[in-house]
Chains A and B, each alone.
Chain A
Amino acid sequence: MPNKKKIYDKGAVLVGLCIFVIVITFPFWFNFGNAAPAPEPKISDKAKAAKECVMPKEYMKMEHMQLLNEWRDTVVRDAKRIFVSSSGKEFNMSLTNTCLDCHVEKAEFCDKCHNYASVTPYCWECHIDPKETK
Chain B
Amino acid sequence: MNISYMYSLVAVIVLFLVAYVGVMLPGGEVFFGIIIPYLALVIFILGFINRIIDWARSPVPFRIPTTCGQEKSLPWIKPNSIDNPTTIGGVIIRMFLEIVFFRSLFRNTKMALKEGDKLSYEWEKWLWLFSLAFHWTFFVVLFRHLRFFSEPVPALVELVAKLDGFLQIGLPELRISGVVLLAALIFLFLRRIYIPQMRYISLASDYFPLFLIIGIAFTGILMRYFTKVDIVGVKEFTMSLATFKPHITEGIGSIFYVHLFFVSVLLAYFPFSKLMHLGGIFMSPTRNMVNNNRFKRHINPWNYPVKVHTYEAYEDEFREKMVEAGLRVDKPLAAKPPEEPEEKE
Q: Are B157 and A118 in contact (CB under 8 A)?
A: yes
Q: Are A118 and B244 in contact (CB under 8 A)?
A: no
Residues of B within 8 A of A34 (CB): 151, 243
Instruction: Please give me the residue from chain A that is nearest to B152 by CB atom.
Output: A115
Q: Are B301 and A3 in contact (CB under 8 A)?
A: yes
Residues of A within 8 A of B44 (CB): 24
Q: Complex formed: what's the CA distance from A20 to B45 in Å? A: 9
Instruction: Please give me the residue from chain A that is nearest to B237 by CB atom.
Output: A38
Residue interface mask A62-89, B partner, CB < 8 A = 1: 1101101100000000000000000000
For the complex, is B24 an interface residue (Cβ under 8 Å from A)?
Answer: no
Residue interface mask A8-30, B partner, CB < 8 A = 1: 11100100110011001111101
For the complex, is B161 an interface residue (Cβ under 8 Å from A)?
Answer: yes
Q: Complex formed: what's the CA distance from A4 to B59 in Å? A: 9
Residues of B within 8 A of A8 (CB): 56-60
Interface centre among A26, A34, A62, A63 (most CB of B within 10 A): A62
Q: Are A28 and B45 in contact (CB under 8 A)?
A: no
Interface size class for chain B? 35 or more
Interface size class for chain A? 35 or more
Q: Are A2 and B59 in contact (CB under 8 A)?
A: yes
Q: Complex formed: what's the CA distance from A5 to B53 in Å? A: 10
For the complex, is B162 an interface residue (Cβ under 8 Å from A)?
Answer: yes
Q: Are B150 and A27 in contact (CB under 8 A)?
A: yes
Residue from A1, A16, A31 within 8 A of B282 (CB atoms): A16
Given contacts A28-B242, A31-B243, contact A118 B158 (CB under 8 A): yes
Q: Are B58 and A27 in contact (CB under 8 A)?
A: no
Given contacts A2-B59, A13-B53, contact A65 B149 (CB under 8 A): no
Given contacts A26-B149, A28-B242, contact A117 B57 (CB under 8 A): no
For the complex, is B68 an interface residue (Cβ under 8 Å from A)?
Answer: no
List residues 30-83 of chain B with CB under 8 A from any CB of chain A.
41, 44-45, 48-49, 52-53, 56-60
Q: Complex formed: what's the CA distance from A39 to B56 in Å? A: 47
For the complex, is B230 an interface residue (Cβ under 8 Å from A)?
Answer: yes
Instruction: Please give me the residue from chain A that is nearest to B234 by CB atom.
Output: A117
Residue interface mask B205-243, A partner, CB < 8 A = 1: 000000000000000000000001111110110110111
Instruction: Please give me the residue from chain B that is nearest to A9 by CB atom.
Output: B56
List residues 131-178 of chain B with CB under 8 A from any CB of chain A.
146-147, 149-151, 153, 157-158, 161-162, 168, 170-172
Residues of B within 8 A of A9 (CB): 56
Interface residues of B, dominant DSSP: helix
Residue from A17, A31, A38 within 8 A of B236 (CB atoms): A38
Q: Complex formed: what's the CA distance from A12 to B282 in Å? A: 10
Residues of B within 8 A of A30 (CB): 149-150, 242
Instruction: Please give me the residue from chain A that is nearest to B251 by CB atom.
Output: A58
List residues 18-54 of chain A with CB under 8 A from any CB of chain B.
20-21, 24-28, 30-32, 34-36, 38-39
Given contacts A21-B45, A63-B228, contact A116 B244 (CB under 8 A): no
Q: Are B243 and A117 in contact (CB under 8 A)?
A: no
Q: Complex formed: what's the CA distance from A24 to B304 in Å? A: 42
For the complex, is A133 an interface residue (Cβ under 8 Å from B)?
Answer: no
Residues of A within 8 A of B171 (CB): 65-66, 68-69, 121
List residues 279-337 of chain B with CB under 8 A from any CB of chain A.
279, 282, 301-302, 304
Q: Are A117 and B146 in contact (CB under 8 A)?
A: no
Q: Are A27 and B161 in contact (CB under 8 A)?
A: no
For the complex, is A124 an interface residue (Cβ under 8 Å from B)?
Answer: no
14 additional A-B residue pairs with CB within 8 Å, beyond A3-B302, A34-B243, A117-B147: A3-B59, A6-B59, A17-B53, A21-B45, A27-B241, A32-B243, A36-B243, A62-B228, A62-B230, A63-B228, A66-B171, A118-B147, A119-B161, A119-B172
Can you name 21 A-B pairs with beta carbons within 8 Å? Answer: A1-B304, A2-B57, A8-B57, A13-B53, A16-B52, A21-B45, A21-B49, A24-B41, A24-B45, A27-B238, A27-B242, A35-B243, A36-B243, A38-B233, A62-B229, A62-B231, A66-B228, A113-B232, A118-B147, A119-B172, A121-B171
